[in-house]
């Protein structure tokens, strides 16, 4: 029995320790992974530059310089988000990252983002992470999800200002529709009145012309009789 217990304990010790992966506050693991990969790529670029400095000095300088927006402008996620991850990685794993870079590991991304920080552990890299938009209100961070606007059809009626959660919403909606339809009808009536006025003016002008023509005919007839 003791032998079995010891074997079980040994097996448990050999199993990899699993648990929650530490991530920056209010950030999904997908965003964390993507930013970590950007961090590793830019670190490789900095250390690839030719210099006469020792490798240790070059690594320390790169670690002090890396968390700037100018290095992360060409990536999918915004520089502020990537800088947040950059500072998180350095604060939490500074010594380990420095040692890995000094040793010139073959795959910086694999060593930092998968093995050390586990930022990309279990993450589907083929899916582009969605970056939340945050703003502060009363010193509290608020998150706004950015979604594409829904297409709107022009039905000739303006959008109604009605709260659908209000019990009296249906009645107010009907009143607003009637009001808008009434305004449209009044607009059409005004146009019709203008057309009617124009027609009346034309008829009056025609009547006046006929009266003038009739007077001219009477005058001509009177002259002819006088001459006779």
pLDDT at 82: 96
pLDDT at 56: 95
pLDDT at 175: 79
pLDDT at 215: 52
pLDDT at 157: 45
pLDDT at 12: 40
Please give, one letter per residue, the 3-state secondary structure of the chain. CHHHHHHHHHHHHHCCCCCCCCCCCCCCHHHHHHHHHHHHHHHHHHHCCCCCCCHHHHHHHHHHHCCCHHHCCCCCCCHHHHHHHHHHHHHHHHHHHHHHHHCCCCCHHHHHHHHHCCCCCCCCCCCCCCCCEEEEECCEEEEECCCCCCCCCCCCCCCCCCCCCCCCHHHHHHHHHHHHHHHHHHHHHHHHHHHHHHHHHHHHHHHHHHHHHHHHHHHHHHHHHHHC
pLDDT at 168: 67
pLDDT at 146: 47
CA angle, residues 11, 12, 15, in degrees to nearest 5:
90
Question: Can you give the residue ranges of every domain in the chain?
Answer: 21-143, 162-228
> Digits of tens for pLDDT over the chain (228 positions)?
454 445 444 444 443 444 589 999 999 999 999 999 999 999 999 999 988 999 999 999 999 999 999 999 999 999 999 999 999 999 999 999 999 999 999 999 999 999 999 999 999 999 989 886 554 445 555 554 444 545 555 454 445 555 555 666 677 777 777 777 777 666 655 555 555 556 666 666 665 555 545 555 555 554 554 454
- 106 DSSP assignment: S
pLDDT at 172: 73
Q: How do residues 67-113 score in pLDDT, each as one tens digit?
A: 999 999 999 999 999 999 999 999 999 999 999 999 999 999 999 99
């Amino acid at each position: 029995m003791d032998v079995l217990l010891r074997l079980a304990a040994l097996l448990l010790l050999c199993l990899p320790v699993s648990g929650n992966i530490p991530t920056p506050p209010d950030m999904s693991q997908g965003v964390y992974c993507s930013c970590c990969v950007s961090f590793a790529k830019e670190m490789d670029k900095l250390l690839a530059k030719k210099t006469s400095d020792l490798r240790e000095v070059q690594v320390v300088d790169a670690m002090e310089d890396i968390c700037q927006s100018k290095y992360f402008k060409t990536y999918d996620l915004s520089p502020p988000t990537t800088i947040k991850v950059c500072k998180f990685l350095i604060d939490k794993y500074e010594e380990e990252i420095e040692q890995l870079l000094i040793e010139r590991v073959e795959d910086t991304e694999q060593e930092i983002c998968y093995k050390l920080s586990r930022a990309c552990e279990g993450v589907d890299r083929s899916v582009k992470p969605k970056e939340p938009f945050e703003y502060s209100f009363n010193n509290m961070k608020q998150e706004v999800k950015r979604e594409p606007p829904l297409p709107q059809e022009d039905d000739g009626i303006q959008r109604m200002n009605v709260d659908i959660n209000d019990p009296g919403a249906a009645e107010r909606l009907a009143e607003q529709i009637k009001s808008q339809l009434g305004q449209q009808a009044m607009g059409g009536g005004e146009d019709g009145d203008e057309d009617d006025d124009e027609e009346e003016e034309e008829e009056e002008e025609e009547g006046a012309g006929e009266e003038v023509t009739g007077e001219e005919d009477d005058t001509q007839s009177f002259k002819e009789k006088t001459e006779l």
